[in-house]
Amino acid sequence: MAFLFVVFSALTGGLIKKLTLARKTVDEQYEKLTSSHEALQEAHEQLQLYAKEVEELTAVKERNEIAREIHDTVGHNMTALLVQLQLAEELLKQKSDQTGAVLQTCHELAKRSLQEVRASVRTLKEEENAGDLVGNIRQMLNEFSNATNVRTTFKLHGDPAIIPLSLHPTILRIMQESLTNAKRHGKAATCEMKLSCLDGKVQISIFDDGTAINEVHPGFGLIKLKKRKQNLQLGTLNSAFFFLCFRWPK
């Protein structure tokens, strides 16, 4: 009997020792898991901060690009305007019949520059309210239609929430330039815009029924955008429609 008690005590002691060791191992593993989870959560929060900083830097870069566009485009127009005004001054001295035509050119240059500035400022204002991209697009199209009598349509496919905020100014700028070119260069009567946000990809497709253009010349405001946005495609479709396609990511 005493022998059985000794054996039982030994077995019980061994089991208790193993259970204690197992409990200690579980506690250590739990502590490591908790520590890893905290580190992972901290890394996730840090990653979110980095992503926000990158988005803010991208937005600043986009504003700088818009400012550069204003400087380039308006600066060019102002130089041309100055030359035309100097010519008008000389023609006035000579009482030439060409004075009226030169002054009309001056008027067009000044008007175009004002439109460029207004469009750029509108883009910056819309960027401040960037959360409502679709609302900004619809407002822009309505204002353009009311001002030019060009009929515009807008179609949305998918969820625009997948579009990064830093991409909003680019999308608005592309659409603004497309509308301006459709009216100014193509004399379009209708313009259709499609925004697709599917499978993590964003695509803008724009068509207008303006005068067919065999070749897109550098005079287009979109050319400057194309030089910076390699995923921007321009051209004509069936020699009847001008089209633009922008994809993100590339």
pLDDT in tens, 109-137: 787 777 777 766 666 665 555 568 888 89
| All residues at 6 or more sequence positions from 35 whose CB lies less than 8 Å from its CB, including other chains | none
Q: Are residues 114 and 192 in the same domain?
A: no
Q: Provide the mean pLDDT of the chain.
A: 74
Q: Are residues 227 and 139 in the same domain?
A: yes
Domain count, the chain: 2
What integer pLDDT is reported at residue 222 of this predicted model? Answer: 58
Q: Are residues 150 and 120 in the same domain?
A: no
188-234: pLDDT as tens digits? 889 999 999 988 888 888 888 877 555 554 444 555 555 555 556 66
Q: Are residues 144 and 247 in the same domain?
A: yes
Q: Are residues 120 and 178 in the same domain?
A: no
Q: Are residues 120 and 154 in the same domain?
A: no
Mapped to the 3 state alphabet, what secondary structure does 200-217 carry? CEEEEEEEECCCCCCCCC
Range 38-45 average pLDDT:
76
Does any domain span residue 5?
Answer: no
**CATH number (domain holding residue 150):** 3.30.565.10
Residue range of the domain that includes 234 = 132-250
Does any domain span residue 155?
Answer: yes
246, 174 Cβ separation under 8 angstroms:
yes
> At residue 92, does pLDDT exceed 50?
yes
Q: Provide the whole-model pTM.
A: 0.52
Q: Are residues 153 and 174 in the same domain?
A: yes
Does any domain span residue 6?
Answer: no
What integer pLDDT is reported at residue 220 of this predicted model? Answer: 46
